[in-house]
Amino acid sequence: MAAKVLYTAKGTDPSTLQWPTAGPLKERWNFTSGSVTSIPELIGYGNGNITFADGRQFPVFSQQGSTMTHQKDK
């Protein structure tokens, strides 16, 4: 299973950013605003939520209000 993460930049966040901003490098990914990134290490749910495989919640809002949401298959 993989999460298909859509990054939408808001505020002063750049069009490309590494997220989350803290934690081990193997648990940080590069996202480009408006593009979907498929990440096998994350689990996506139909309501847009994303978790790590061990159950920790993936942070979905930056301080500037940018969002990272799971895009379910149509």
Q: What is the pLDDT of residues 7-33, one digit of tens each?
A: 999 999 999 999 999 999 999 999 999
The pTM of the whole model exceeds 0.85: yes
Tens of pLDDT, residue by residue over 25-70, are: 999 999 999 999 999 999 999 899 999 999 999 999 999 999 999 9
Q: Cite the beta strand spans of the chain per DSSP E.
A: 3-8, 16-19, 29-32, 36-39, 42-44, 50-52, 67-70
d(CA 32, CA 30): 7
